[in-house]
Amino acid sequence: MILDILAIFLSVALVDNYVFSQTLGICPFLGVSSKPSTALGMGLAVTFVMTMSNAVTRLVFDLLLKGRFEYLQTVVFILIIASLVQLIEMMLKKLLPSLYGALGIYLPLITTNCAVLGAATNALGDQRASANILFSSFYGFSAAIGFTIAILIFAGVRARIDEESVPEPFRGTPITLIGAGITALVFNGLLAGIKF
């Protein structure tokens, strides 16, 4: 039990990091990583949504789709995620205005974050995470923590890139992507060979 939880966390958050080794969620990774504070905000918002969306999609899959309408999985999951993001946004606005102030602008962006739909779909196929709804939700949480780690590390790297004078064709996105590639190389190299 404890070992399974640890294995899910280590494999999803670090070894098979969603950004660096599965290349999911690259749009917000490139878009929001220009400052560490916004990167942290985005990471927290993604963690919040992913933990909840993995629980809800799993619940709906078990109750409604399993064995009967499995081909509707993609349609149902993306609708759940879109409405969940909307719901979380409204609830935060009403109940926790201070948290809404910090995360508010990132929430609408999350619907199109492919890591959220990816985590919901992956959790169904994962050997450990598919055991029950709690594991499934924890899988989403771990994936989001991995995303947050990646975006925070890269925000630091990017602050350094911005200080350099870059050859003209490489300015903007290209140098950001190459920087991300080298960061990914370091990150994956550090954890290479660990298998769960």
Partner 1 sequence: MFKTILKQFKEGVFDKNPLLVQILGVCASLAITTSVSNALYMGLAVTAVLVCSNLFVSLLRKFIPQQVRIAAYIVIISGFVTIVEMLMKAYLPSAAEKLGIFLPLIVVNCIILGRAEAYASQNAPFPSIIDGLAMGAGFTIALLLLGAIRELFGAGTLFGISIFGQSYTPIGILSSPPGAFIVLGCLIALMQYLKKDCPSMNSTQRRKSQSRMSKQGRIRHDP
Q: State the nearest-atom distance from the C-beta of 64 to partner 1, in Å.
A: 16
Tokens of 149: 């780690």
135: Cβ–Cβ under 8 A, 6 or more apart, which residues?
4, 5, 8, 128, 129
Q: Is 57 in the site for partner 1 (CB under 8 A)?
A: no
Q: Check residue 29 and report its DSSP letter.
A: H
Q: What is the three-class DSSP state of 91?
A: helix
Window 116 to 135, contacts with partner 1 (CB under 8 A) = 117-118, 121-122
Please say which residue, 37 or 173, places its beta carbon nearer to partner 1: 173
Query: Nearer to partner 1 by C-beta: 8 or 116?
Result: 116
- Reading the block at residue 151, the tokens are 């975006």
Single-letter amino acid code for the residue at 146: G
Q: How far apart are alpha carbons 112 and 146 in whole angstroms?
A: 18
Q: Which residue in 112, 133, 191, 196 binds partner 1 (CB under 8 A)?
A: 112
Q: Which listed residue (3, 63, 71, 193) binds partner 1 by CB under 8 A? A: 71
Is 176 a binding residue for partner 1 by CB under 8 A? The answer is yes
Question: Is the distance from CB of 122 to CB of 147 less than 8 angstroms?
Answer: no
Q: Which residues would be at the binding site for partner 1 (CB under 8 A)?
A: 20-27, 30-34, 71-75, 78-79, 82, 112-114, 117-118, 121-122, 162-163, 165, 168-178, 180-182, 184-185, 188
